[in-house]
Structure formats: C-alpha cells, structure tokens
Amino acid sequence: MKKFLLQFFTWWNGATLNTRFHTWRHGAEVGTDEFGNVYYQGGTDSEGRTRRWVMYNGLADASRIPAAWHGWMHHRTDIAPNDENYQPRAWQKPHKPNLTGSSAAYRPKGSILTGTERPRVTGDYDAWTPKS
C-alpha cells in the first residue's frame, strides 16, 4: 500500500500510474540496462516516430541512463544496446553517476566548500567600469 501511495502522489518514486497504464496498453519491452531500468517502445509521437520510454528501477533520475541507451531513447540509433548487432563507439565511456550535490562533486579552488583560498587575480583582468 505504501508503494502505491508513493507512486500515486510522487512522480520521482518509480513510474507513475499513467506511465504504468500506458506501458500495459501500448508498450513492448525492448531491454534492460545494468541498473535494472527497463526500456519500452510503442505507439507514435507527434513527429511520427516510435515512442520510447524508460521505467526506472528506483528513483527517476535521467542521469542513470547509460550512454548507449540514451542514444536509443533519443532516436540517434535504431539498434538497442542489448541487440547482438550493437557495437559501442570507441569514444563511448562507461557510465558514471551524476555526483552533483554529493561529497564527491567537483569543487574548484576557492569554493567555500573546499576550505581553500581562491587564487589571486594575476593582472590579466581589467574590471569593467561604466563609460570606459
């Protein structure tokens, strides 16, 4: 019952009821990624292309979609990554989660969160002043 209420009142806790209904009615499962996200297709969008969507395993976070599935979702390729003909490009890197907001997030020198002092200006910068 708790899971149902979470899905009914919050869109970020798994799939919404509308998405589940649409999937049941129109969706054909295409594959699953290493995070347990399940990908579907079915029907057509406003441009006449096959509609594609994902049902996340856990919280809905678009940064949890690996590069290969991202390309398929956005119609960059018609070959799903779980297809035997799929070959990742040499430049594609393994998936990394979005670290924004975590303790592992990037913090440049001088950030108030690093405790270091900001580098001094070296003289190659002239502040703008009106009518100059």
> What are the tens digits of pLDDT across the range 80-97?
888 777 777 788 787 777
Nearest to 81 by CA among 31, 10, 131: 31
Amino acid at 11: W
Fill in the DSSP letter of residue 85.
T
Can you point out the beta strands (E) in 13-132? 28-32, 38-44, 50-55
**How many CB atoms within 10 Å of residue 56?**
19
- Please give the Cα distance from 86 to 98 (Å, whole number): 25
Tell me if 122 is assigned to some domain: no
Is the pTM higher than 0.75?
Answer: no
- Whether residue 43 is contained in a domain is answered as yes
pLDDT of residue 115 exceeding 80: no
**81 domain-assigned:** no
pLDDT band at 53 (very low <50, low <70, confident <90, very high): confident
Amino acid 55: pLDDT: 85
**Buried/exposed 70-96: b ≥16 CB within 10 Å, e otherwise:** ebbbeeeeeebbeeeeeeeeeeeeebe
User: CA of 80: how far to CAs of 1, 22, 89, 119, in Å?
Assistant: 35, 21, 14, 47
Range of the domain at 6: 2-73
Q: What is the domain count for the chain? A: 1
Per the domain annotation, does 47 fall within a domain? yes
The residue type at 53: W
